[in-house]
A and B are shown apart, each in its own frame.
Chain A
Amino acid sequence: MAARVQLPKDIRRGQVISVQILVQHPMESGYRLDADNRKVPKNAIRSFTCRYNGEEIFRAEMSPGIAANPFLQFPTLARESGELEFSWVDDAGERGSHTAPIHVAA
């Protein structure tokens, strides 16, 4: 489950930035049939968390009501340089994670 993260270019301390992430996941609705006419089981990312240097700054509970390859853009207050750590788990129990460095100018 690959992911792509986008952060603003120049981040200054105290600035509220938008964190964008796109996770590759089908977010199966549970009512789609595959090419062989078999029901594709429901499978959505249920829980998604973002930690900023270890501290939780965003959490989402989701359903198949979020489109395939979920895209999320959420705000956070830039404090110091470090790492954003994203983690999620789907209905199948599969876990995914991704990290992105964050550079904050004083």
Chain B
Amino acid sequence: MTTRREFLKISAAVGGGLAVGFEFSEAGAAQAAELTPWVVVRPDDTVIIRYARAEMGQGSMTSTAQLVAEELECDWSRVKVEYADTNDQVRRKRPWGDMAAVGSRTIRNSQEYLRQAGATAREMLVAAAAQQWKASPGDCRAERGVVHGPGGKKLSYGKLADAAAKMQAPKDVKLKDAKDWKIAGKPIKRVDIPATVMGRQFYGIDAQLPGMVYAAIAQCPVFGGKVKSVDESKIKGRRGIIKVVQMDDYVAVVADNWWRAKEALKALPIEWDGGKNGEVSSESIRQFLKAGLDAQQDVVTARSDGNVEQGLSGAAKVVEAEYFTPYLAHSTLEPMGCTALIKDGKVEIWTSTQNAEASHATAAAVAGVPLENVRTHRTQLGGGFGRRGGSQDFVRQGVAIAKQLPDGTPVKLLWTREEDTQHDFYRPVSLIRMKAGLDASGMPVAWYSRVSAPSIIATLLKLPLKEGVDPQAVAAYADQPYEIPNVRIEYAQRNPHVPVGFWRTVGHSQNPFMRESFVDELAHAAGKDPLEYRRAMLKEASKERAILEATVKAAGWGTALPAGVHRGVAVTEGYGSYTAAVAELSVNDKNVVTIHRLVLGIDPGYAVNPDNIEAQMQGSAVFMLTAMFWGEITLKDGRVQQSNFNDYRMMRLREMPKVEVVLAPTGGFWGGIGEPGQASIAPSICNAIFAATGKRVRSLPLKNEGFELA
């Protein structure tokens, strides 16, 4: 665990310039032996397992270490987890690979090389022992941090570490079968939690350096707009004010205390030039997307099976609907920020980031220094949810402001909640038209969807889209699992001026709501039970079918419910995992929804830490219910109308329904955990609302449809 103490030691490098390429571990580090970049063993038998990605509550810091420790055969009680250093990462040519904690892919993309690292280190320790005993490695075995040899000989890892570090790493290592796991697959307690509950956890916001100053920021309220003028005279003489930094599209006030900076900024008259985006409203965006639904031009086909027109014209019945989902803000509880220090051509930053390498590269680019002259200090994140990965705006600003200050002045940039709400990279707005043709038996023979929505990949990442299709925009459509002979999925890329980004579960945060609600519409039109309808369209052997069955079984689908209580069901794949949800709810005559029970099923292939998976599913429920009932970012005069938790509502404890998690790993694949849990929730709730009220919800949030959560 990266304790505060270690953090401080890392920070200490500030005093003597950048002490790069060093291990900043606690006492004993001098004798520590690095067996692989992931495994360091100390003479006192402590095993340090390095963690490259970010910890933002998703628990991967612990679960990745479980995978390494499993193969290493070490004693878990002697394991410490430390962040891999970004400066070492650059100097050593990326020994830790990808550092990004995004796309629910920390485990599934790194499990193989992490397990190999553990096994490699173990083999090196065994080889070192065998050499010392002049025995054959085949006669030695590792167990709980000790290598056992012939004749009852044993040596602990700490005693073998130095020799092991000099051994040749084996070329091939055999990895364990999951059924033999002793550390992985178990509900091990998270390594970062003790520091958190004791108030010792270190977040980006907590950086503190000698001589540090503080910056508050105001960004142009209209996206893409510019600063026109600033009247500094109005804040002259205020206590603690050091400098006003005027940039192209933001103004920062630097002071000796953040509150003073923020108060001065409030009093500072700033004129903005919003440009023509100053006319954009939620209504104009809706019209823009609506035009995308009808457009003949600038539309691409993401999937085409059979002939949809023929399928529709030959259908016994055609069902058509339009669905809408709004922009959403991430609202990490820790607002955006970055502490930066530029000194003698070297840069250090402290920031809560989902991608330390991206922060590192951004800091280098803004400061104009080589990558080797930068260190991005690792911290826990006060929430991520996709806000702190692809967009490194906070780092860009933090370093740019530091550049405006005398060399060697550390500055902590911190956004207000209002800035955070109004300058996000939002979950895209989306308007979708669906049309399905049913045969005489009520089963779909044709399915058509057109998605009119912005592209995150084209606008935020500025990457080319293959065949013009943003896979996130058409997620859960282009890869929908239902057996329908004629399918066409179209995408009309429509980009309003509002910045969009990766919001937890991304395309799967909205498209499954639409798809699975529409499937229910079809079942209703066919006069069939929504579960039976899905069963009929899913292959018996499919993973979707398996998780659906496991979930409805746990939920007791089909059993009698108290009067007024109704069920809804949905199933979705996403992030390599399969999820299903069954909601049980009642709606009173005032349209107040009481959720009695939410059963969430997930098949992630392998479950590395079951307790953490349960926590992620519970959290996903809160995150999605918050969005479903209240979440919407609206625009007027080009500006976001919401500002803080008083008008961008978050779910609270008393509103959280009972959530039951069905963890049903079927093995053979590695799926994500942090995001997929959200995908099936909204349709299961809306399908249950339909069952209860006969009202089909085709637009979120529910508050705008007249529904309130009890």
**Residue B298 at the A interface, CB < 8 A?**
yes
Q: Which residue of B lies closest to A39 (CB)?
A: B298
A37→B458 contact, CB < 8 A: no
Contacting residue for A33 out of B276, B463, B493, CB 8 A: B493
Within 8 A of B (CB), among A29-46: 29-33, 35, 37-39
A29→B495 contact, CB < 8 A: no
User: How many of B's residues come within 8 Å of A, CB to CB?
Assistant: 13
In angstroms, how far is the closest chain B Cβ from the Cβ of A64?
9
Within 8 A of A (CB), among B477-525: 493-495, 497
A32→B495 contact, CB < 8 A: no
Bound-complex Cα distance A51 to B494 (A): 46
Bound-complex Cα distance A59 to B603 (A): 57
**Residue B174 at the A interface, CB < 8 A?**
no
State the total of A-B contacts with C-beta under 8 angstroms: 21
Proximity bits, B454-471, A CB within 8 Å = 1, else 0: 000011001111000000
Bound-complex Cα distance A48 to B458 (A): 29
B462→A32 contact, CB < 8 A: yes
**Chain B residues with CB below 8 A from A33, complex form:** 458-459, 493, 495
Bound-complex Cα distance A29 to B458 (A): 12
A29→B298 contact, CB < 8 A: no
**Chain B residues with CB below 8 A from A30, complex form:** 464
In angstroms, how far is the closest chain A Cβ from the Cβ of B453?
12
Within 8 A of A (CB), among B183-212: none
B493→A31 contact, CB < 8 A: no
B298→A31 contact, CB < 8 A: no
A37→B494 contact, CB < 8 A: yes
Bound-complex Cα distance A3 to B665 (A): 61
Proximity bits, A10-41, B CB within 8 Å = 1, else 0: 00000000000000000001111101011100
In angstroms, how far is the closest chain A Cβ from the Cβ of B678?
29
Bound-complex Cα distance A43 to B464 (A): 15
In angstroms, how far is the closest chain A Cβ from the Cβ of B15?
39
Bound-complex Cα distance A31 to B495 (A): 13
A31→B494 contact, CB < 8 A: no
Q: Which residue of B lies closest to A33 (CB)?
A: B495
**Chain B residues with CB below 8 A from A29, complex form:** 464
B495→A37 contact, CB < 8 A: yes
Q: Which residue of A lies closest to B493 (CB)?
A: A33
In angstroms, how far is the closest chain A Cβ from the Cβ of B686?
30
Q: Which residue of B lies closest to A31 (CB)?
A: B464
Bound-complex Cα distance A35 to B276 (A): 10
Q: Which residue of A lies closest to B464 (CB)?
A: A31
Q: Which residue of B lies closest to A32 (CB)?
A: B462
Proximity bits, B88-124, A CB within 8 Å = 1, else 0: 0000000000000000000000000000000000000
Bound-complex Cα distance A30 to B459 (A): 13
Bound-complex Cα distance A54 to B45 (A): 74
**Chain B residues with CB below 8 A from A38, complex form:** 298
Q: Which residue of B lies closest to A29 (CB)?
A: B464
In angstroms, how far is the closest chain A Cβ from the Cβ of B470?
11
In angstroms, how far is the closest chain A Cβ from the Cβ of B428?
14
In angstroms, how far is the closest chain B Cβ from the Cβ of A63?
12
Proximity bits, B288-304, A CB within 8 Å = 1, else 0: 10000000001000000
**Chain A residues with CB below 8 A from B464, complex form:** 29-31
Bound-complex Cα distance A21 to B556 (A): 73
In angstroms, how far is the closest chain A Cβ from the Cβ of B48?
41
Bound-complex Cα distance A54 to B226 (A): 48
Bound-complex Cα distance A32 to B458 (A): 7
In angstroms, how far is the closest chain A Cβ from the Cβ of B454?
10
Bound-complex Cα distance A99 to B459 (A): 38
Bound-complex Cα distance A32 to B495 (A): 11
Bound-complex Cα distance A106 to B386 (A): 63
In angstroms, how far is the closest chain B Cβ from the Cβ of A62?
17
**Chain B residues with CB below 8 A from A35, complex form:** 276, 497
In angstroms, how far is the closest chain B Cβ from the Cβ of A22?
18
What are 21 A-B pairs with beta-carbon distances under 8 A? A29-B464, A30-B464, A31-B458, A31-B463, A31-B464, A31-B465, A32-B458, A32-B462, A33-B458, A33-B459, A33-B493, A33-B495, A35-B276, A35-B497, A37-B288, A37-B298, A37-B493, A37-B494, A37-B495, A38-B298, A39-B298
Residues of chain B touching chain A, judged by Cβ–Cβ distance below 8 Å, are 276, 288, 298, 458-459, 462-465, 493-495, 497
Shortest Cβ-Cβ A-B pairs, 9 listed: A31-B464, A37-B495, A33-B495, A37-B494, A31-B465, A29-B464, A33-B458, A31-B458, A39-B298
Excluding A30-B464, A31-B465, A37-B298, 6 further A-B contacts by CB distance (< 8 Å) are: A29-B464, A32-B462, A33-B493, A33-B495, A37-B288, A38-B298
